[in-house]
């Protein structure tokens, strides 16, 4: 079996083709007073690209050519002109990023081929590539499937970054920076459309609330597209897109040396997906009567709706949902004190994932229910101080992180399960597996703390030494309780308990 989506094409601005055929219209308004920050920064980049590209890769603002790291920078203009609206599509602009995804839970980002394993078992495994949005670490790769909200710039750092970032990032980091609230009123909006019913809209507005002390910014994004595979079992198209997100920020400047940014966001995604279609079958080492062709013939001569994958037809008969709720809030405080800047980042994130799939991939009642809804929560706190001197630059920080993951999985077999999953005489008895149900209670608690630092010694104008140090503490506690019952609700396996040991 194989899952895929229809191809897309792009062209240069001002007309964009986000999905096949389409167009885009963008409007920027900064006429209330003066020129918008976005227009000014984009203009500066166009006039003097190298000198004006400011990055925070080493936790302080520097020109990109002064940073001795393998770093790539993508600004908002590049994102908008290429239709790059999530981290998954960022791989089209940055070849060093590989992004794998069969659904939001089973997603993984790698840099230079290094990252985290791809599959169901990665819930408790640390991500090799750290995704940071406005200095907040996002623990799950599902964030890569959501639309960007009011992004100003993305930095891709290749290689280990653990001595600079709170969470250990062994393969690299993707550092996303949003547009900040401005004290000059501005507004902008964009709408794109294409084939397959593709519609995408983005809008933001920013301006002062109280003089030069308090400013706000509001942004929203909406993406919708029809499914790319037609399900003949219910007449619906699956593998569609349906995302709606909001983000709000308040920038408070109580003094000339202190700034506090309050941020909150929420995104809802409810596409019909994710479905597969028939491509071909291959032979295995099973007996001939256990090969696909013989099993299909024994199931009332079952036939898939099409053996041509380009017709994009399927007959999935189980429930298909991929609903997500994603959001959180953060408080970012930056205080210029002494020779450098002290930064505090407090954040809370949540992700609710409610999938349901047809796990047998065809239109027979083999696996009738396959659902693993998951609720994930994370709390993080980072304190960091970065200073720049004539000879010595340094960054030191403390980081704390706590995460909970709770999954309530259900899988139930149907009337054809015995035929396809058992052999011998048992295969002819549907009652053996019909109604067999497994309910799983899965939990994970992850506690992490770290102290990190990096020093840059400017030995001469042409020689710099840059040592770094990181100390990690990680503790993980997990549970897995499975209750298996038959069609009469009689328990077969009461429970299975697994508790991983803590590690330092």
The phi, psi pair for 77, rounded to 5°, reads -65, -40
The alpha carbon dihedral of 300, 301, 306, 309 has a sign of positive
Yes or no: say if 208 and 183 are a contact pair by the CB < 8 Å rule: yes
Q: What is the dihedral angle through the alpha carbons of 291, 297, 301, 305, rounded to the nearest 10 degrees? A: 20
Tell me the three state secondary structure of residue 121.
helix
**Domains in the chain: how many in total?**
1
Using the predicted structure, report yes or no on whether residue 115 has a pLDDT greater than 80: no
Q: What is the DSSP string of 55-67?
A: E-TTSS-EEGGG-
| 500 in any annotated domain | no
Give the distance from CA 431 to its chain's centroid.
42
Please report the pLDDT score of residue 497 as a whole number: 52
Please report the pLDDT score of residue 36 as a whole number: 38
E strands, 15-59, are 22-29, 54-55
The alpha carbon dihedral of 247, 194, 93, 326 has a sign of positive
Give the β-pairing of 186-194 and 70-75: unpaired
Percent of the chain with pLDDT over 90: 48
Tell me the three state secondary structure of residue 74.
strand
pLDDT: which is higher, 494 or 455: 455
pLDDT: which is higher, 120 or 84: 84
Mean pLDDT of 354-378: 92
Mean pLDDT of 213-229: 95
Please report the pLDDT score of residue 45 as a whole number: 43
Please report the pLDDT score of residue 119 as a whole number: 60
Q: What is the dihedral angle through the alpha carbons of 407, 141, 151, 22, rounded to the nearest 10 degrees? A: -100
Yes or no: say if 275 and 239 are a contact pair by the CB < 8 Å rule: yes
The phi, psi pair for 200, rounded to 5°, reads -140, 130
- The predicted-structure confidence for 305-348, as pLDDT tens digits, reads as follows 999 999 999 999 998 888 989 999 999 999 999 999 999 999 99
Residues in the chain, how many? 504
Residues 6+ apart with CB under 8 A from 310: none
Name the DSSP letter for residue 500.
P
- The predicted-structure confidence for 437-451, as pLDDT tens digits, reads as follows 999 999 999 999 999
Mean pLDDT of 467-494: 86
| 214 in any annotated domain | yes
- pLDDT band, residue 2 (cuts 50/70/90): very low
Q: How far apart (Å, rounded) are the C-alpha atoms in residues 477 and 499?
A: 6
Please report the pLDDT score of residue 52 as a whole number: 61
Using the predicted structure, report yes or no on whether residue 85 has a pLDDT greater than 80: no
- Average pLDDT of every residue of the chain: 82
| 148 in any annotated domain | yes
Please report the pLDDT score of residue 117 as a whole number: 66
Mean pLDDT of 362-378: 93
Domain of 241, in residue numbers: 22-493
- Least Cα distance to 360 among 314, 408, 307 occurs for 314
pLDDT: which is higher, 496 or 148: 148
Mean pLDDT of 33-59: 51
The alpha carbon dihedral of 271, 274, 277, 279 has a sign of positive
The CATH number given to whatever domain includes residue 250 is 2.40.170.20
Regarding pTM above 0.85, the answer is no
Residues 6+ apart with CB under 8 A from 201: 189, 190, 191, 192, 220, 221, 222
| 7 in any annotated domain | no
Using the predicted structure, report yes or no on whether residue 489 has a pLDDT greater than 70: yes
Using the predicted structure, report yes or no on whether residue 365 has a pLDDT greater than 60: yes
Q: What is the DSSP string of 314-325?
A: E---S--EEEEE
Tell me the two tokens of residue 313. 């037809």
| 3 in any annotated domain | no
- The predicted-structure confidence for 393-447, as pLDDT tens digits, reads as follows 999 999 999 999 999 989 999 999 999 999 888 999 999 999 999 999 999 999 9
Q: How far apart (Å, rounded) are the C-alpha atoms in residues 200 and 225?
A: 9
Using the predicted structure, report yes or no on whether residue 1 has a pLDDT greater than 60: no
Using the predicted structure, report yes or no on whether residue 132 has a pLDDT greater than 80: yes
Using the predicted structure, report yes or no on whether residue 241 has a pLDDT greater than 80: yes
From 7-11, 341-345, 372-376, 460-464, the region with the lowest mean pLDDT: 7-11
| 283 in any annotated domain | yes
């Amino acid at each position: 079996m194989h899952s895929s989506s229809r191809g897309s094409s792009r062209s240069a601005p001002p007309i964009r083709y986000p999905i096949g055929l389409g167009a885009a219209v963008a409007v920027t308004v900064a006429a209330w007073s003066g020129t918008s920050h976005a227009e000014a920064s984009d203009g500066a980049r166009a006039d003097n690209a190298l000198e004006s590209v400011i990055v925070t890769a080493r936790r302080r603002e520097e020109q990109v050519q002064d940073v001795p790291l393998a770093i790539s920078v993508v600004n908002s203009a590049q994102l908008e002109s290429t239709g790059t609206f999530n981290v998954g599509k960022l791989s089209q602009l940055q070849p060093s990023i590989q992004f794998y995804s069969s659904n939001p839970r089973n997603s993984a980002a790698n840099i230079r081929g290094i990252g985290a394993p791809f599959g169901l078992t990665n819930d408790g495994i640390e991500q090799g590539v750290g995704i940071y949005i406005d200095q907040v670490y996002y623990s799950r790769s599902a964030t890569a499937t959501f639309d960007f909200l009011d992004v100003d710039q993305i930095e891709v750092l290749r290689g280990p970054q653990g001595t600079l970032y709170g969470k250990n990032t062994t393969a690299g980091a993707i550092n996303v920076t949003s547009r900040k609230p401005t004290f000059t009123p501005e507004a902008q909006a964009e709408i794109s459309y294409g084939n397959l019913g593709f519609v995408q809209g983005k809008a933001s507005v920013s301006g002062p609330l109280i003089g030069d002390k308090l400013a706000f910014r509001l942004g929203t994004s909406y993406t919708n597209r029809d499914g790319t595979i037609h399900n003949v079992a219910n007449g619906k198209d699956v593998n569609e897109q349906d995302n709606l997100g909001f983000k709000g920020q308040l920038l408070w400047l109580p003094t000339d040396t202190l700034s506090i940014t309050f941020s909150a966001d929420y995104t809802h995604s409810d596409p019909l997906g994710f479905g597969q279609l028939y491509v071909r079958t291959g032979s295995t080492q099973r007996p001939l009567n256990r090969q696909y062709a013989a099993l299909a013939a024994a199931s009332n001569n079952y036939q898939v709706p099409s053996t041509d994958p380009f017709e994009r037809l399927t007959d999935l008969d189980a429930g298909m949902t991929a609903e997500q709720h994603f959001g959180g809030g953060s408080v970012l405080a930056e205080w210029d004190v002494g020779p450098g800047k002290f930064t505090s980042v407090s954040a809370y994130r949540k992700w609710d994932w409610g999938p349901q799939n047809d796990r047998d991939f065809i239109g027979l009642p083999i696996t009738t229910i396959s659902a693993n809804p998951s609720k994930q929560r994370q709390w993080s706190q980072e304190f960091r101080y970065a200073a720049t001197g004539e000879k010595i630059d340094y960054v030191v920080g403390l980081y704390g992180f706590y995460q909970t993951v709770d999954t309530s999985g259900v899988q139930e077999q149907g009337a054809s399960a015995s035929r396809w999953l058992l052999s011998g005489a048992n295969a002819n008895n549907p009652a053996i597996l019909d109604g067999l149900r497994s309910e799983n209670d899965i939990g994970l608690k992850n506690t992490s703390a770290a102290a990190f630092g990096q020093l840059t010694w400017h030995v001469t104008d042409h020689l710099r030494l840059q040592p770094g140090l990181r100390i990690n503490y990680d503790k993980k506690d997990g549970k897995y309780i499975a209750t298996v019952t038959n069609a009469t609700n009689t328990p077969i396996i009461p429970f299975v308990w697994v508790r991983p040991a803590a590690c330092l």
